[in-house]
């Protein structure tokens, strides 16, 4: 009898873990099937574009539940994205890929630190939104990718995105044309609440 109860308890815990994972905004957003994460491959470059709902950002900050809900409210009115990029089959930072020397490496680093936001915009309905918050996470060659964190202020009165988000980025370093990703309005509606 004890063995049966243990198996039932284990089964219940597995089901609960599976269900809670489905209701986790981080797992939901990072699952490619849900439409909030897009991969774009151009030439030797791989771009990973992650839309980050307010619930996602709050959960990633590892706050207490009440703090998560408060933080999500503070993030309303913005659309947040990460654009990570790496070179296929290259085991160093993409900033080092085929550089001729320190000067070229420094120019690449400067572009992503200071100039890249000018080459990124978000189409939201009839509005063109420009980057209002930006951070470049330079991994100092400790990872195989680099990441740009972007925030776009939504038009007045929009606390959450209510239309398709069409992100465009012209990467001047690797000259791969315009990198585009579309986050559909329908996929935004299913983000789990905190």
Asked if the structure places residue 107 within a domain, the reply is yes
Asked if the structure places residue 174 within a domain, the reply is yes
Does residue 127 carry a pLDDT above 80?
A: yes
Asked if the structure places residue 80 within a domain, the reply is yes
* Mean of all residue pLDDT scores within the chain: 88
Asked if the structure places residue 11 within a domain, the reply is no
Residue 20's pLDDT band, with cuts at 50, 70 and 90, is very low
Per-residue pLDDT, 9: 46
Per-residue pLDDT, 10: 43
Asked if the structure places residue 62 within a domain, the reply is yes
Cα 164 from chain centre: 16
Per-residue pLDDT, 76: 92
| 123-135 b/e (C-beta count within 10 Å ≥ 16 → b) | bbeeeebebeebe
Q: What is the domain count for the chain?
A: 1
Per-residue pLDDT, 21: 47
Asked if the structure places residue 132 within a domain, the reply is yes
Over residues 141-172, the pLDDT tens digits come to: 889 999 999 999 999 889 999 999 999 999 99
Over residues 51-98, the pLDDT tens digits come to: 999 998 989 988 888 888 889 888 899 999 999 999 999 999 999 999
Percent of the chain with pLDDT over 90: 68
Compute φ and ψ for 183, nearest 5 degrees.
-105, 115
Per-residue pLDDT, 26: 92
Residues 30, 86: Cα–Cα separation, whole Å: 18
Please give, one letter per residue, the 3-state secondary structure of the chain.
CHHHHHHHHHHHHHHHHHHHHHCCHHHHHHCHHHCCEEEEEECCEEEEEEEECHHHHHHHCCCCHHHHHHHHHHCCCEEEEEEEEEECCCCCCHHHCCCCCHHHHHHHHHHHHHHHHHHEEEEECCEEEEEEEEEEECCCCCCCEEEEEEEEECCCCCCCCCCCEEEEEECCCCCCCEEEEEECHHHHCCCCCC
CB 105 within 8 A of CB 96: yes
Which range marks the domain in which residue 162 is found? 25-188
What is the mean predicted confidence (pLDDT) over 22-43? Answer: 91
Asked if the structure places residue 5 within a domain, the reply is no
Residue with tokens 């909030």: 36
Asked if the structure places residue 14 within a domain, the reply is no
Per-residue pLDDT, 1: 53
Q: Which residue has the higher pLDDT, 20 or 74?
A: 74
CB 125 within 8 A of CB 134: no
What is the mean predicted confidence (pLDDT) over 3-11? Answer: 46
Q: Cα dist. 21→16, 28, 34 in Å?
A: 8, 8, 13
């Amino acid at each position: 009898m004890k063995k049966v109860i243990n198996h039932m308890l284990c089964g219940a815990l597995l089901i609960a873990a599976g269900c809670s994972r489905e209701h986790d905004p981080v797992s939901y957003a990072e699952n490619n099937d849900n439409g909030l994460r897009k991969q774009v491959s151009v030439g030797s470059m791989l771009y990973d574009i992650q839309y980050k709902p307010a619930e996602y950002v709050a959960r990633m900050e590892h706050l207490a539940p009440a703090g998560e809900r408060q933080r999500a409210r503070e993030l309303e009115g913005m659309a947040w994205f990460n654009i990570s990029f790496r070179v296929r089959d290259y085991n160093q930072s993409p900033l080092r890929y085929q550089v001729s020397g320190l000067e070229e490496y420094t120019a690449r680093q400067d572009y992503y630190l200071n100039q890249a936001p000018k080459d990124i915009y978000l189409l939201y309905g009839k509005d063109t939104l420009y980057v209002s918050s930006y951070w470049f996470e330079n991994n100092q060659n400790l990872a195989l990718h680099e990441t740009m964190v972007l925030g776009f202020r939504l038009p007045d009165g929009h606390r959450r995105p209510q239309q398709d988000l069409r992100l465009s980025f012209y990467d001047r370093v690797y000259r791969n044309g315009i990198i585009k990703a579309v986050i559909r309005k329908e996929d935004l509606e299913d983000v789990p609440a905190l």
